[in-house]
Amino acid sequence: MAAPESGDGNNGAARMVTLISSDNTRFEVEAAAASLSQTLQLTILDGGGGGGDGIPLPNVDSATLSKVLEYCIKHAPAAANGGAPNATAVDRAELERFDNEFVNIDQSVLYSLIMAAHNLEIEGLQSLVAKKVADMIKGKSPMEIRRTLGFPDPTPEEQAEMNAHMLEYGWAYE
């Protein structure tokens, strides 16, 4: 799962940093990949996360962090190049394929991911997951959305409330 060595200014050997999840699992990852997180980037630029220290991430559990880092490692080379000039159509298509497959996961993992992406300020991941969830909602009736998202079926009382509310929201329908 190692990313190609991108210029890190460190004589070829890519600089590594250690991230520590909320449940105390340590992840060693290239600084370039971790730097996709705006939050981590500052710490890493200051020389943090190296050696035995590690950067604690009290809001991210190991399952989520491992998924986040999978995204970062895949996207780090393109981010380092700024998308150009050696990003070919093939590279872009490969990233798109990766992204589509990457979000093809359980809803609960998606939600943990979007929280982590927000906390770590990883813009690409944040919009990738937001788009995925939006696509799950798009073009569906409120009942269909409830089923998709795993809402329990409404009680008769809730159903009556929904009907009344739907009248109030008539303007939102073309």
Partner 1 sequence: MEPSGGDLAAKRSNIAASADAGEDRLSGLPDYILVLILLRLPTSAAAQTSLLSRRWRHVWALLPELRFPFFPEPLSFRDALDAHKVPLRYLLVEDEDASAGSLGAWLPAAARRVSGLFAIVNADHRRSAREEEEIGAQRGAFEIPCFQKATSIRLHDIGSYQYLMGNMAVFPDLTFLYLGIFANGHAFGASSFHILKMCTGLRRLVLGFCDPTELELKSAEFNCNHTVPQDDSLLLPLFFKNQTASEPTILVGQENLDHYEVNTGKKRAKMALMKQRNSAIDLGENR
What residue ranges bind partner 1 (CB under 8 A)?
1-2, 21, 23-29, 61-63, 66, 69-70, 73, 106-109, 111-112, 114-115, 118, 126-127, 130-131, 133-134, 137-139, 142, 145-146, 149-152, 158, 162, 165-166, 168-174
Q: Kindly state the smallest distance separating residue 70's Cβ from partner 1, in Å.
A: 8
- Nearest to partner 1 of 17, 95 (CB atom): 17
What is the residue type of 53?
D
Q: Kindly state the smallest distance separating residue 172's Cβ from partner 1, in Å.
A: 4
- At 83 the three-state DSSP class reads coil
Q: Kindly state the smallest distance separating residue 49's Cβ from partner 1, in Å.
A: 14
- Nearest to partner 1 of 11, 155 (CB atom): 155
- At 75 the three-state DSSP class reads helix
- Nearest to partner 1 of 53, 86 (CB atom): 53
- Nearest to partner 1 of 45, 164 (CB atom): 164
Check if the beta carbon of residue 97 is closer than 8 Å to that of residue 49. no
Q: How many CA atoms are closer than 13 Å to the CA of 122, on its beta-carbon side?
A: 29
d(CA 157, CA 18): 52
d(CA 40, CA 44): 6
Hey, which residues does 26 pair with through a beta bridge? Answer: 20
